[in-house]
Amino acid sequence: MNLKISYKTLVFLSLFISQTPYAQAQVLENNFVKKIIKKFLSSEKDSTRGASLMILPAVGYAQESGFEYGIAGTYNFYLDKADLNSRTSNITLIGTLTTKQQKNIKLLTDIWTKNNDYHILSELRYRDWPFNFYGLGSNTWVVDEDFLEQKLVRAKVDVEKKIASQWYAGINANFEYFKFEDRDAGGIFDRPEVLGKKGGRYLALGISSLYDTRNNTTYTTKGWYTRVKYAYAPDFWAEDNFTGSQWEADLRGFHALSGKLTLAGQLLYRGTSGDDIPFYVYRDLGGDMNMRGYYLGRYRDKNYTAAQAELRYRFMPRFGVVGFAGTGSTFSKQHNLRLVPSFGGGIRYFFSLEHNSTIRFDYAFGEQRPGEKRQSGFYLSISEAF
């Protein structure tokens, strides 16, 4: 028996098969995969200068907090899409909980208005989270680790206005409330030089000056950033509440060595002055932005200075690698400056080519003190360290 199928029959059969639920599902699945690939791996920019949203799960574990879970998200946008010189604004929300009922909620904004006339920074934060206290100064030891319960409420805002081309001047306000509880009395936290053991609050009001020639605020390849800030906290509440001055100077420079390779550097100073300064306004060394590889607060004192450099290689529009190294120390009249190293590397994924916004995977090493393990840390963050 011979079976003959004409060209018209084949066309009819192909059309019929394409209308079956399975075929339709396959088409939809393929289109969805193509859209995902285009959105997250394509080298094409968004010609509409649209906004971008990235949400990441936050999962971790620490002995003091148990399992941590939550989200971290950032929204990048232009307030004036028509202006090609308009800088990227962003809103970042981080919220996590733990199996031991601790909470950490933080909302950050970095806004550039039309014509970049105003630069507005703000932070709202509530933190019910334990931390390890090692004492004051840059010569503390892990064996003295003291576990503290902490509650923190923070509200701060900086408003800077363009005074001249690339130069801004502004005002700032920062309110902080702290409450502490020492689970194990008799440790280093009980020493008499540690002031403000129960906590306290203060409101600092100040001024700032910014000179900014960066070609891009999210992933800079050339330009300078120089910001100086001063704030004073009046004696509103007395007792163990902070009264005094806070200083900050932040200098950054960026130079493109080639189309894909950038050298970036940062010098940073933060200081606190006043009488009977409580420990909760001391300056902390460590974290995911500066002096990576150290537990935030591993060393703390009235003053803190650090320098770091990064060599950034963006080998593809969506991907890059970074090597970094730095040094820094806390110090005061009571405790000498002792510079410690920080070095490591990481991977960058650019989730928005229009805004040059990145997800940062870094692993960093710190010093190895006699009788202790080398300090180190892994960091998954949204945006560059500086």
Q: Quickly tell me which residue has 């064996």 as its tokens.
A: 143
Average pLDDT over residues 327-353: 97
What's the rounded Cα separation, in Å, for the pair 275 and 243? 7
Clarify whether residues 351 and 222 are in a common domain: yes
Clarify whether residues 16 and 114 are in a common domain: no
Clarify whether residues 328 and 202 are in a common domain: yes
SS3 288: coil
End-to-end CA distance of the chain: 77
Q: What is the pLDDT of residue 363?
A: 97
Of 56-60, 144-148, 164-168, 361-365, the poorest mean pLDDT is in: 56-60
pLDDT in tens, 222-275: 999 999 999 999 999 877 799 999 999 999 999 999 999 999 999 999 999 999
Q: What is the pLDDT of residue 68?
A: 85
Under 8 Å between Cβ of 95 and 68: no
Q: How many CB atoms lie within 10 A of CB 1?
A: 2
Q: What is the pLDDT of residue 42?
A: 74
Residue 49 reports pLDDT greater than 90: no
What's the rounded Cα separation, in Å, for the pair 359 and 380? 7
The conformational region for residue 365 under phi > 0 = left, psi -120 to 50 = alpha, else beta, is beta
pLDDT band at 216 (very low <50, low <70, confident <90, very high): very high
Under 8 Å between Cβ of 269 and 247: yes
Task: Give the count of domains, the chain.
Answer: 2
Angle between helices 21-41 and 7-18 (to 10 degrees): 70
pLDDT in tens, 277-319: 999 999 999 999 999 999 999 999 999 999 999 999 999 999 9
Clarify whether residues 21 and 47 are in a common domain: no
What type of residue sits at position 1? M
Clarify whether residues 48 and 168 are in a common domain: yes
57's tokens:
């799960």
169, 280, 381, 147: CA torsion to nearest 10 = 180
Domain that holds residue 215: 43-382
pLDDT band at 24 (very low <50, low <70, confident <90, very high): low
What's the rounded Cα separation, in Å, for the pair 145 and 365? 20
DSSP code, position 354: T
Distance of CA 369 to the CA centre of its chain: 27
pLDDT in tens, 279-290: 999 999 999 999
119's tokens:
């630069």
CATH number, position 307? 2.40.160.50
Clarify whether residues 27 and 53 are in a common domain: no
What type of residue sits at position 57? P
Q: Where are the alpha helices (DSSP H) in 202-260?
A: none
Q: What is the pLDDT of residue 59?
A: 79
Q: What is the pLDDT of residue 300?
A: 98
Long-range CB contacts for residues 181-184, cutoff 8 Å, separation at least 24: 181/148, 181/149, 182/146, 182/147, 182/148, 182/149, 183/147, 183/148, 183/149, 184/146, 184/147
What's the rounded Cα separation, in Å, for the pair 115 and 87? 9
Under 8 Å between Cβ of 286 and 299: yes
Residue 1 reports pLDDT greater than 70: no
Clarify whether residues 3 and 60 are in a common domain: no
Clarify whether residues 48 and 119 are in a common domain: yes
Average pLDDT over residues 156-165: 97
Residues in contact with 28: Cβ distance below 8 Å, sequence separation at least 6, in sequence order = none
Average pLDDT over residues 47-56: 88
pLDDT band at 46 (very low <50, low <70, confident <90, very high): low
Average pLDDT over residues 78-97: 94
What's the rounded Cα separation, in Å, for the pair 109 and 124? 9
Q: What is the pLDDT of residue 91?
A: 97
Under 8 Å between Cβ of 134 and 299: yes
- Rounded to 5 degrees, φ, ψ at 342 are -145, 130
pLDDT band at 23 (very low <50, low <70, confident <90, very high): low
Picking from 160, 260, 177, 255, the residue whose alpha carbon sits closest to that of residue 211 is 160
pLDDT band at 206 (very low <50, low <70, confident <90, very high): very high
Of 11-15, 208-212, 321-325, 349-353, the poorest mean pLDDT is in: 11-15
pLDDT band at 33 (very low <50, low <70, confident <90, very high): low
Residue 30 reports pLDDT greater than 70: no
What type of residue sits at position 268? L
What type of residue sits at position 378? F
Clarify whether residues 147 and 81 are in a common domain: yes
Q: For residues 131 and 67, which has the higher predicted lDDT (pLDDT)?
A: 131
Q: What is the pLDDT of residue 14?
A: 41
Clarify whether residues 195 and 323 are in a common domain: yes
Q: What is the pLDDT of residue 36?
A: 61
Clarify whether residues 36 and 54 are in a common domain: no
Q: What is the pLDDT of residue 57?
A: 86
- Ranges assigned E (strand) in the chain: 52-62, 66-77, 89-98, 103-112, 118-128, 131-133, 146-164, 167-182, 199-212, 223-233, 244-256, 261-273, 283-285, 299-301, 303-316, 319-331, 340-352, 357-365, 376-382
In sequence order, the β-bridge partners of residue 184 are: none
Q: What is the pLDDT of residue 67?
A: 83
Clarify whether residues 118 and 217 are in a common domain: yes
